[in-house]
Structure formats: structure tokens, C-alpha cells
Structure 1
Amino acid sequence: MNRITATFQKLAAAHKKALVGYLTAGDPNPETSFDILRAAVTSGLDILELGVPFSDPTADGPVIQEASQRALRAGMTLTKTLEMAVRLRAESDIPIMLFGYYNPLFKYGLDRIAKAAHAAGVDGLLVVDLPPEEAGPLKTALQGTDIQIVFLVAPTTRPDRVKKIAAETGGFLYLVTKAGTTGEGGLDYEAIRQHAAEVKAVSPLPVCLGFGIRNGDDAAKLAPMADGIIVGSTLCNVVGQAPWAPDLPERMAAKIQDLRAGLDRS
């Protein structure tokens, strides 16, 4: 069974919610990044989204854009991101998703990325700018692996469209909590509650909420609405506030523990 699916089943049996965390591979540099990732996966994360640095991350806000730029300046590539996944898999059984944009995957080669990701122990792919209707070639390349593709559901997505997306996705649905780019603006909790309920009514998949979640209090408020939360900009900002601080792994662990505590008290 795919690790993502198994994780949601295990959490549901324990009446717990999933904490999914995004971090950009190679930020602020490859070795420090690995130490940060190691701290993250041992501090309460249930699923890791390992971001592939990209020069034009249009769906992301300034925090993640800057994280990508730091990683690219430090020499991070898709190949090195896969190597980092291999190192993580050697130490942890946490589900690992590659999170990124289609262009780097296409340039790398879809068959090649499918084989390399499978060999690295990757469990899922989330390609921000790839809608289900255009994912056929990637899905074909992934045949014979147990790698799942996760798709996004926007706040404006209608129920009939949600059904179509759910039929194509694996693992869980990523429900975007608000329009715009990651990490910006506040949250309309009532609107999120209504949309999450509408999505859960038409899809059997676990639903996770992402965009705009900053702390344990946000996590506690959102947890009852879905099966998990996804935190990206808040984690990347831990690095962005002090990229060369020697205690970045400890700072990351503290942030994740705060989010985990918020989820668990909901």
C-alpha cells in the first residue's frame, strides 16, 4: 500500500489529523537543508512535500519564491532533490511527495522522472500547474509504480468538477483555502468550512487544507473541517528569517511542534 494512503488510514484509526509540511529542497543550501528536513520529519510531520526549486514559481507567494531562489543559488537541481529524497528515505518511512512545476519534470523526461522518483522512495507528486486533463502523459509514465498524483481543488471549484478531480487524484485532495498565492492574506473560516464540507460530500478521499496557515491556533481552528492541514510558507519562513542561523533545525522543530500541538488539541 502506498505510504500516503497508509498514513491517512493510520491517523483516522487514531482519530488524528495529518500535518503535511512543504519545504524547498536545498534551502538555504543542500547540507543545511537536509538537517532541517531531518528535524522536520522527526518533530511531528506526517507527510513531507519536498519542493523542487524552480525559477518561476507563479503559484507561490514571496516566501516560497525566495526559498526557491536561495536553493537555486546554492546549486540545487531536480537531480539533487531526488538524491535528497534517497537520503531521507534511508532514515525515515515518512511519505515523501515531490512538489513542483511541470516544466522541470518535462525537461528531465517523464519516464525518467517516474523511474528515478520510484527508486528514490517517493510516494506522490503534486504538480501545481498540471490540471488532470493534461496529466495523461505523466500518469502513463507512472504506471508500474505506486506513486500517486495529488491535484489541487480551488475555492471556486464546483462540486461536479471536484468529482472529476477526485477521480483522477490519489492519496488526498489538496483543498486551497483561499484565492491567490501561497502565504498571503487571512483566512475566512466559515467559507473554508462550507467548501470543505461540499468537497467531502462528493469525494471519498481525505481532504487537506492548505494556504495561509501560520501557527498552532490556525491549525486548531481548521482541523475539525478536514482530514489534515498543509503548511508551506510558514515553514519556509523559518529559514527565510535567518538563512544562516546555526540553529535552523531546532527552529524548524519548534514550529512543527507548535502546529502539531494545535492539531492535536482540536
Structure 2
Amino acid sequence: PYADPIADGEVIEQAHFQGVSQGMNMSRALEFMHAVRDKCQIPLVLFSYFNLVYQRGMAGFTRELQAAGGAAAIIPDLPLDERPRFQQGNLDLIPMVAPTSDIQHIELADEYARSFVYCVSIAGVTGQRQQLPDLTRYLQRVRAHTIRPLAVGFGISHPEQITELRDYADAFVVGSLLVETMTKYAGEKALLQRQLRQAVSGLKKALN
């Protein structure tokens, strides 16, 4: 959690503030990741902000992330062309592109990508949206300049959105929907689990 989450909308922003106020920090986040790693075989990606990473030093952060079982990191406020300065070892820093990205930026993202390219759906912040702009030409343009899988995020919250885009992307990043669900049912563990399963199940079915 970070006190100034510039890429996040209201739902995740409030989660950041709540976490900070309750003493959540990078060390505790990495401890939590380590606990999840022991129970989960899916690669884990840490989403954070550069100031928190820089405070630990990139070499130190890389060691800690990998020791916690992290496979990669998404740092939205680290400019793409600055990444070579901070790349450490085999740390996978997921590059991000946007609808406003030019071909040079997309090709640079392809050069730096080790696993996938994160395609931001809109020029804005995270958050659920009933409708997204037509992303097909944008995703086709990115696809033409990278060999990496494409993951679409920012605004993805409905199965219908995934159905519309599944022929143009390989994965979808869903955050605000799940954070809002966890916030709403935080005091009811069994109900929270059912609601999360229901939400994720509906999204996964849309991929097929």
C-alpha cells in the first residue's frame, strides 16, 4: 500500500489508505506473499509504486521479492525508458503500454518484457467501468509489434468485456471488482469466499 497511488481509482485508493492506516507496509506485503506462495502454484506478481521500491534499493527489493516467491512486479509510475537503470538480475518488471503509446514505446515494451505486456485499457486510473472504448485496433497494433502475451487491465470488471476482447488479448487483470468485494464482505468470511468464487468463476467462463 502507498499513500499516493496515482494510477488507482477510488476503490483501490481507499484500500491503500486503509492498509497504510492499519500498519500495512512492503515488509508485511512480502510476508503475506510468502505465505500465499506456500499454498499456491500460480505465479505471483507484486503491484506497487516506485518510491516504496526505491527506498529498499532495487537490489534489495529484488532479493526480497524473489525470496518471498514473487515472479514479477508491476510498477506503474516507473517510466518505461528508465527501467534499464533499475533492472536487477532476473527481476521481471512488467512493462505497460496505453492507447496513447506510439510504436516506439510498444517496441521498447516488447524489448523489456520477459513474460507479458500490460495493456492499459484507458488513459485514466483503475476502477470498474460499465463500458470500455473500442480497444480492438489498439490491441491489434500492440500485437503487431510484440511477440509477448498481452494482458488487458484497468476497467475490466464484467464477463461481457472479456468476451468482447478475448480474441485480441491473452489475459485480463481484474482488481477493483475483487477489492470492492473483499471490502464489502470483510466481516463475513464464508460469504466473502462465496462472492469471490462467484465473481472469478463468471470471469473465467468468459474466456472460453
Settle same-fold status: TM greater than 0.5: yes
- What residue in structure 1 maps to residue 119 of structure 2? 175
1:187 equivalenced with 2:132 (yes/no): yes
Residue deviations 1:49-84 (CA, integer Å, cap 9, x gap): xxxx11110111001101112222222110011111
- What residue in structure 1 maps to residue 173 of structure 2? 230
1:71 equivalenced with 2:14 (yes/no): no
- Percent of counterpart pairs with the same letter? 28
Q: TM-score, normalised by structure 2?
A: 0.93
Question: Hey, what's the Cα distance between the residues in 2 that align with 1:131 and 1:63?
Answer: 24
Q: Select between 192-201 and 152-161 the one with higher mean Cα deviation.
A: 152-161
Question: Hey, what's the Cα distance between the residues in 2 that align with 1:240 and 1:92?
Answer: 23
Map 1:144-159 onto structure 2 (within 5 A): 145=90, 147-159=91-103
Q: Where does the alignment leave 5 or more consecutive residues of structure 1 unmatched?
A: 1-52
- Among 82, 107, 121, the alignment partner of 2:55 is 107
Q: TM-score, normalised by structure 1?
A: 0.74
CA shift for structure 1 position 173: 0.5
- Give the number of aligned pairs: 206
- What residue in structure 2 maps to residue 54 of structure 1? 2
Question: Which structure carries more relative contact order (alpha carbon 8 Å, separation 6+)?
Answer: 1
Q: For residue 152 of structure 2, give the secondary structure of its aligned residue in structure 1.
A: strand
Q: For residue 155 of structure 2, give the secondary structure of its aligned residue in structure 1.
A: coil
- What residue in structure 2 maps to residue 204 of structure 1? 147
- What residue in structure 2 maps to residue 134 of structure 1? 82
Question: Hey, what's the Cα distance between the residues in 1 that align with 2:48 and 2:115?
Answer: 17
- What residue in structure 1 maps to residue 107 of structure 2? 163
- What residue in structure 2 maps to residue 245 of structure 1? 188
CA shift for structure 1 position 109: 2.1
Is the CA contact (8 Å cut-off) linking 1:85 and 1:120 kept in structure 2? yes
Question: Hey, what's the Cα distance between the residues in 2 that align with 1:78 and 1:63?
Answer: 20
Q: Select between 212-221 and 245-254 the one with higher mean Cα deviation.
A: 245-254
CA shift for structure 1 position 259: 0.6
Question: Hey, what's the Cα distance between the residues in 1 that align with 2:38 and 2:93?
Answer: 23
CA shift for structure 1 position 240: 2.8
Question: Hey, what's the Cα distance between the residues in 2 that align with 1:125 and 1:234?
Answer: 21
- What residue in structure 2 maps to residue 125 of structure 1? 73
Question: Hey, what's the Cα distance between the residues in 2 that align with 1:83 and 1:240?
Answer: 21
CA shift for structure 1 position 132: 2.2
Is the CA contact (8 Å cut-off) linking 1:125 and 1:148 kept in structure 2? yes
Map 1:92-103 onto structure 2 (within 5 A): 92-103=40-51
Question: Hey, what's the Cα distance between the residues in 2 that align with 1:214 and 1:164?
Answer: 29
CA shift for structure 1 position 184: 5.2
Question: Hey, what's the Cα distance between the residues in 2 that align with 1:249 and 1:113?
Answer: 32
Letter in 1 for 2:157: R
Q: Select between 239-248 and 198-207 the one with higher mean Cα deviation.
A: 239-248
Is the CA contact (8 Å cut-off) linking 2:119 and 2:151 kept in structure 1? yes
Q: For residue 124 of structure 1, give the secondary structure of its aligned residue in structure 2.
A: strand
Q: Where does the alignment leave 5 or more consecutive residues of structure 2 unmatched?
A: none
Q: For residue 79 of structure 1, give the secondary structure of its aligned residue in structure 2.
A: helix
